[in-house]
């Protein structure tokens, strides 16, 4: 959703907001729900990436498929990034 507040354009995924003249749009509801959705999306991405990693790692082990090994290593790097992001969001959520 794109909101226009005077000269400021903001992208928001929330339905409820307050627009003040000459200031940012301020979300008023569903903030916690939005963070839970973000965590849920991250968990789903982690699951999908882990499945890709496991599939490619098994192909490398069982059939000595070198390209599958390359894909598994790439997936492991992507997993690392996703897990760090999950930790960041989780710690942020626990501070509330």
Instruction: Supply the pLDDT for residue 53.
Output: 97
The answer to pTM > 0.85 is: no
Q: Is the pLDDT of residue 7 over 70?
A: no
The count of domains in the chain is 1
Mean pLDDT of 2-12: 44
**Residue 17: φ, ψ to 5°:** -160, 165
The domain in which residue 85 lies consists of 2-94
Report long-range pairs for 25-32 (Cβ below 8 Å, ≥24 apart).
32/96
pLDDT digits (tens, 9 = 90+) for 17-49: 444 444 455 554 455 557 788 889 999 999 999
């Amino acid at each position: 959703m794109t909101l226009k507040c005077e000269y400021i354009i903001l992208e928001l995924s929330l339905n409820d907001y307050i627009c003040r003249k000459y200031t940012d749009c301020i979300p008023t509801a569903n903030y916690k729900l939005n963070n839970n959705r973000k965590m849920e999306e991250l968990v789903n991405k982690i699951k999908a990436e882990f499945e890709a990693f496991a599939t490619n790692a098994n192909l490398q082990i069982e059939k000595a498929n070198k390209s599958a090994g390359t894909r598994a290593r790439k997936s492991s790097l992507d997993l690392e990034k996703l897990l760090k992001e999950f930790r960041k969001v989780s710690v942020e959520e626990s501070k509330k």
